[in-house]
Amino acid sequence: MNKPPPLALDINGLVKRFDRPAVDGLDLRVQAGELYTLLGPNGAGKTTTLRMVTGLLRPDSGAISVFGIDALADPTAAKQIMAWLSDEPMIYDKLTPFEYLEFVAGLWGVDAALAEARARELIEWLGLAPHAHERCEGFSKGMRQKVALAGALVHEPRLIILDEPLTGLDAGAARQVKTVLRERVRAGSTVIMTTHILEVAERMADRIGVIAGGRLIAEGTLEDLRRQTGKSSTSLEDTFLALVARESAAA
Amino acid sequence: MSSAGTLTWFAQHECRLAWRDWLSMMTAGRRRRTRTVAIAIAAFALFMHLVAFGMVGRYANVAADPDKLTLVVITGSALLSWSLMLSQALESVTRGFYARADLDLILSSPVIARRLLSVRIAAMAFSTVAMAMLLAAPFIDALVVRGGLRWLGAYGVVVAMGAAATALAVALTIALFHLIGPKRTRLVAQILAAVIGAVVVIGLQAGAILSYGTLSRMAFLESDTVMALAPAVDSVAWWPARAILGDFAALAAVLAASLVVLAATILFFAPRFAHHAIAAAGISNIGARWHRGLARFRRATPAAALRRKEWTLLRRDPWLLSQTLMQVLYLLPPALLLWRNFGGGGGTLVLLAPVLIMAAGQLAGGLAWLAISGEDAPDLIASAPVSARHVLRAKIEAVTGAIALVFAPFLAALAMAAPFGALVSAIGILAATASATAIQLWFRSQAKRSHFRRRQTSSRVATFAEALSSIGWAATGAVAAAGSWLAVIPGVMTLAILAGTRLISPDARSPRPR
């Protein structure tokens, strides 16, 4: 009998405390090839969770596995197949998008010729071609976000993790980003993203996880979530608010 | 409480912002440190007064009716201070134009923007004067105590110099706007601000070296050439010097003239200031274009990519470049000294080792902060499949590479004139660079590169340790270059300073993952 393929992300009993518990014994599993959306109120622990997965923050306890690699024991191997895009795109003002992508490719050790071909494709795809050789210092938030996204994709990660990737983007740019992410999932990558735009989660996600108080309080497809609230025809917004309210009441 | 939109209302607003900005800079954003900072300032003021008594006390009894030599020396010193004030004022004006902060709010509100901008120019003058006053006060106080109240006139001259420096800085910046446009003005004004003070100091030193083979600025000011070129003792050019010496008619004239110039500048330029601030805000949409249509990705290991990134960012940042340039400019006088003594094997070459070592330590401190702490994309670096140890190593290599590039020509020239001096300098440069880099490593914190100006306030221990280690290695180099085994003493002291710094560093108290 064939062994099942490893999960793209397998989190067990993850804990992180600051002044209070930010992530409190979180268990989360994401299948390979999924587009998984994490929802939750402000301060629920979404970003903290994802920062621990990407190695930007050390958990107090728990286990994180990325495609079968123990991300805490071998963070370099896990990072090799991951990409992280934060809500505030941090790029270098004095580099051009082309140079930025060259730098990122160098960091991930991607072959120069291969990386260049991918970079040109991404630049074209994201509508950055007219600005590919301009320094990023004058770019709008949307353009910076696109440059950062291209950086996240240039090394062909198997797991792409994005924190609020559509915040502040205009409709055209948001659509481009959504299309790129969908394309990546079709090509076999796994995407995990947080968002406050529920319409995006509703339309794009294969599965949705709802976090509150540092724990996963609900998970599944939109239909699964509706079932959990006992209302079959409500919008995701109503479903989400009902789930969070129920959790708050229980706490 | 003033009515909204009036000059006094704007002045209150500006004062509150300036006070909080200053306090935040002094306390590195930690309000609980306010008392500590107050005590430190008091201790520093006391120390500076003691130093001042030792340095200028003997000049306190200079005659109120001075000779030409006295006037030349006082005017030369005042000119030097004024050039530094002009640097500071230029920097304030450039920030006023280009840091957008509240300009959008003000310019889009229904109040008369000219009023706020008038107050803002006046505030620039005030901050320039206040900073100069802070530095000059111990020396003036020492002169007042030892020489009488007539020296109080020097405070008035400081005010006049600050007002004139601000007026010139505003006029110069707006003239640059007209001549070369807002984008280039930022570059040119930043570089001017960084180097203008240094150029005067270095110019005087260069004159002294070329004429007399000495680094002493006073030797140049007191030279026959300068005395012959200087105007007669009754010239208006000496009024500032006479005002400093207690001539109250000269003081009134100097003060009135400078305040009139500042007022005229405000009246004339405040309305244009708004116009130019809008133009400056607009330049952010014009990115520099690089014709790299045929550019190719270069093969690079992660370490090479990191090094290349650091060097590219440094090369492209005019402000940082000017800061670096200033450090290098200070190497020009020793270079001139070297050139003058080349082939003669003059004893003055012994002076070069400490100068080179000191400059290397200071430059390495700045570069190490930029590379290690000043990372604009920390998440990208931290999420890359490169261990923190390798990232740090690559960044340190970037720093040492830049230092090697700057100092290699000096060392090569020195090696031809004085091989032993070159060897000592090379070892000293290496030690000073390693020490400054290590200190930055122990005290590293995450910051944006644009915060470079404030790096010294984030950790004063690191700043002092960096300065002390540079001075220590420079002293070691000086004694070693003179061929004395006593160099061991300052060397060991410097190592002790480094060991102490390491012990109290955050890195030693809670080691970070490497």
Each residue's pLDDT, cut to its tens digit, for chain A (251 residues) gives 566 778 999 999 999 998 788 899 999 999 999 999 999 888 889 999 999 999 888 899 999 999 999 999 998 899 999 999 988 888 888 889 999 999 999 988 889 899 999 999 999 988 889 999 988 888 888 889 899 999 999 999 999 999 988 887 778 888 888 888 999 999 999 999 998 888 888 888 999 999 988 899 889 888 888 887 777 667 777 787 887 777 777 76
Question: What is the spatial distance between Cα B121 and Cα B265, in angstroms, rounded to a whole number?
Answer: 9
- Asked if A147 reaches chain B (Cβ–Cβ under 8 Å), the answer is no
Backbone angles phi, psi at A111, to 5 degrees: -55, 135
Task: Specify the DSSP element, H or E, that contains A162.
Answer: strand A159-163
Choose the closest CB to A55 out of B312, B377, B383: B383
Residue with the two structure tokens 């301060």: A43
From the list A209, A203, A153, A208, the residue with the least C-alpha distance to A181 is: A153
**Residues of chain A found within 8 Å of residue B308, distances taken between Cβ atoms:** 103, 106
ipTM of the modeled complex = 0.80
Residues 337..376 of B with a Cβ closer than 8 Å to A: which?
Answer: 376
CB contact under 8 A, A107 and B386: yes
Question: What is the spatial distance between Cα B284 and Cα B99, in angstroms, rounded to a whole number?
Answer: 11
The arrangement of strands across the sheet holding A21-30 comes to A21-30, A9-17, A61-66, A69-70
Alpha helices for B148-223 (secondary structure H) = 153-212, 217-221
Q: pTM (2 decimals)? A: 0.70
A242 within 8 A of A218, measured Cβ to Cβ: no
Q: Which pLDDT does position B444 carry in this prediction?
A: 84
Q: Which pLDDT does position B350 carry in this prediction?
A: 67
Q: How many CB atoms lie within 10 A of CB B101?
A: 11
User: Burial, B276: exposed, middle or buried (Cβ in 10 Å; 0-12, 13-18, 19+)?
Assistant: buried
Q: To the nearest 5 percent, what fractions of chain A are helix, strand and coil?
A: 40, 25, 35
Residues 55..114 of A with a Cβ closer than 8 Å to B: which?
Answer: 55-56, 58, 76-77, 79-80, 82-84, 86, 90-96, 98-99, 101-109, 111-113
- Asked if B383 reaches chain A (Cβ–Cβ under 8 Å), the answer is yes
* Alpha-carbon distances of A24 from A20, A59, B441, rounded to whole Å: 10, 11, 34
The arrangement of strands across the sheet holding A35-39 comes to A82-85, A159-163, A190-194, A35-39, A207-212, A215-220
Choose the closest CB to A96 out of B290, B301, B381: B290
**Measured torsion, CA atoms of residues B144, B147, B152, B156, in degrees rounded to the nearest 10:** -120
Residue A96 identity: T
Question: What is the spatial distance between Cα A222 and Cα A206, in angstroms, rounded to a whole number?
Answer: 9
What lies within 8 Å, CB to CB, of B31 at 6+ separation is B23
Residue B433 identity: T
Q: Which pLDDT does position A11 carry in this prediction?
A: 95
Strands A207-212 and A35-39, by their bridges, are: parallel
Question: What is the spatial distance between Cα B362 and Cα B328, in angstroms, rounded to a whole number?
Answer: 10
Residue with the two structure tokens 């440059």: A147
Residues (pLDDT < 50) of chain B are 284-287, 343-345, 513-514
Question: What is the spatial distance between Cα A118 and Cα A155, in angstroms, rounded to a whole number?
Answer: 8
Within 13 Å of residue A16, how many CA atoms lie on the same side as its CB?
Answer: 23
Question: SS3 letters for A1-56?
Answer: CCCCCCCCEEEEEEEEECCCEEEEEEEEEECCCCEEEEECCCCCCHHHHHHHHCCC
Q: Which pLDDT does position B250 carry in this prediction?
A: 92
Question: What is the spatial distance between Cα B181 and Cα B171, in angstroms, rounded to a whole number?
Answer: 14
What lies within 8 Å, CB to CB, of A19 at 6+ separation is none
Given phi > 0 = left and psi -120 to 50 = alpha, else beta, which region is A62? left
According to DSSP, residue B59 is labeled: G
Q: Which pLDDT does position B286 carry in this prediction?
A: 45
Strands A69-70 and A82-85, by their bridges, are: unpaired
- Asked if B511 reaches chain A (Cβ–Cβ under 8 Å), the answer is no
Total residues belonging to chain B: 514
